């Protein structure tokens, strides 16, 4: 077998300058530890589908509320099908596979029998499983919440902290990651031990899913699988968004003004996600107006009373675990008083979705978009049956 020891770059890649920012983002998202997933693993290892309200009713046949900006009360987005989409292909990995990763480093992968895909959102693991290589995955990050990976050992601590010992104990033949996890020295230790480490894009949005799939597929030597998965996700996303656009009111003035609020009450963390955060692409895909982008809010920044008053959201999107950590709606309104003076606060219009799903930009993105659209536009026909 060819050696897996890789040449070290002689200088730091240019993209390392942005690493402190990316790690700060990872710290914000680190509370995705021990997240709830969209399905439940049984003792036997099988999965139970979530029981969603009106899950058998196509979006085009839902009772869409013509005045979504004045809907009263909260709602929950539920994935009607919790199974991770996977393509069917007989393509065997074409190895060795040599790629230039997102940091400009040339990496050669000679063995994909033990894959470790890890990032702060769980998107990489979902992509590897979507490519049909889930049987080769040996571990996961704490944000990977889909049931197919639930039995795998977790190699991250505190949400985004890597430990070389935990990773090396799994004897991975390749590590697929990005710059949202740290410390960075751990990745250097893995390289020094001879493990190929492929750094993918850290950008997460509906617009970067194709790039992510392509990078992962190339690194694992399965370009055909990558093309098939990309085509499947693109087709499903196009269908879902077309159905949403054809069903909701055409008048832009009717569209709800939406904000994505990242909340961790136990840590007193409240961030408003703006342009280029990924949340903006979700909001736009469901026919909403991203108010953070509208007021010039970029990236992920601590929310201020002034920003909320200026934005005046009709709807606030949150992670379910985040809302719970703040003590529910009443607790959130008490902790962030400015919310009470917004239309969302007045109407108690908060839409939550499982932490491991709402920002998991990967193969399940089309299902996430549809679930959120149902919760926003037809709240009485969304959520879990046992709510």
Element (H, E) at 367: helix 365-377
pLDDT confidence band for 49 (50 / 70 / 90)? low
Measured CA to CA, the distance from residue 366 to residue 131 in angstroms comes to 16
Give SS3 for 187. helix
Q: What is the pLDDT, as a whole number, of residue 67?
A: 93
Measured CA to CA, the distance from residue 214 to residue 208 in angstroms comes to 10
**Taking residues 268-295, what's their average pLDDT?**
94
Q: Which residues of 18-56 are buried (b: 16+ CB within 10 A; e: fewer)?
A: ebeebbebbbbbbbbbebebbbebeeeeebeebebbbbe
- pLDDT of 206 above 80: yes
Beta-sheet strands, E only, within 33-104 = 40-41, 47-48, 75-76, 97-100
| End-to-end Cα, the chain, rounded Å | 55
What's the predicted TM-score (pTM) here? 0.87
Measured CA to CA, the distance from residue 317 to residue 352 in angstroms comes to 6
What percentage of the chain has pLDDT greater than the value 90? 79
């Amino acid at each position: 077998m060819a050696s897996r020891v890789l040449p070290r770059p002689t200088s730091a890649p240019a993209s390392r300058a942005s690493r402190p920012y990316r790690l700060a983002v990872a710290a914000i998202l680190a509370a995705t530890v021990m997240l709830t997933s969209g399905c439940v693993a049984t003792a036997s290892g099988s999965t139970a589908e979530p029981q969603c309200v009106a899950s058998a009713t196509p979006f085009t046949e839902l009772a869409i509320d013509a005045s979504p900006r004045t809907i009263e009360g909260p709602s929950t987005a539920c994935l009607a099908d919790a199974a991770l989409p996977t393509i069917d292909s007989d393509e065997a990995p074409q190895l060795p596979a040599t790629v230039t990763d997102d940091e400009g480093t040339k990496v050669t992968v000679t063995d994909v029998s033990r894959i470790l895909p890890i990032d702060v959102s769980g998107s990489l693991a979902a992509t590897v499983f979507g490519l049909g290589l889930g049987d080769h995955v040996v571990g996961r990050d704490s944000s990977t919440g889909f049931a197919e990976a639930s039995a795998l050992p977790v190699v991250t601590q505190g949400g985004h902290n890597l430990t070389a010992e935990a990773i090396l104990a799994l004897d991975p033949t390749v590590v697929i990651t990005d710059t949202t996890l740290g410390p960075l020295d751990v990745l250097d230790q893995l390289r020094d031990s001879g493990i190929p480490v492929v750094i993918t894009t850290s950008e997460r949005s509906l617009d970067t899913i194709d790039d992510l799939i392509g990078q992962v597929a190339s690194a694992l030597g399965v370009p055909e699988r990558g093309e098939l998965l990309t085509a499947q996700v693109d087709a499903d996303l196009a269908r879902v968004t077309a159905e949403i656009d054809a069903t909701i009111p055409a008048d832009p003035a009717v569209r709800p003004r939406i904000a994505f609020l990242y909340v961790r009450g136990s840590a007193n963390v409240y961030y408003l996600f703006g342009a280029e955060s990924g949340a903006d692409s979700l909001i736009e895909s469901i026919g909403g107006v991203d108010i953070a982008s509208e007021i010039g809010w970029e990236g992920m920044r601590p929310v201020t009373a002034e920003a909320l008053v200026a934005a005046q959201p009709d709807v606030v999107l949150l992670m379910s675990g985040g809302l719970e950590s703040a003590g529910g709606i009443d607790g959130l309104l008490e902790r962030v008083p400015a919310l009470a003076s917004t239309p969302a606060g007045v109407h108690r219009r908060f839409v939550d979705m499982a932490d491991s799903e709402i920002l998991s930009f990967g193969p399940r993105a089309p299902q996430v978009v549809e679930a959120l659209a149902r919760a926003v536009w037809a709240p009485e026909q969304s959520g879990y049956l046992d709510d």
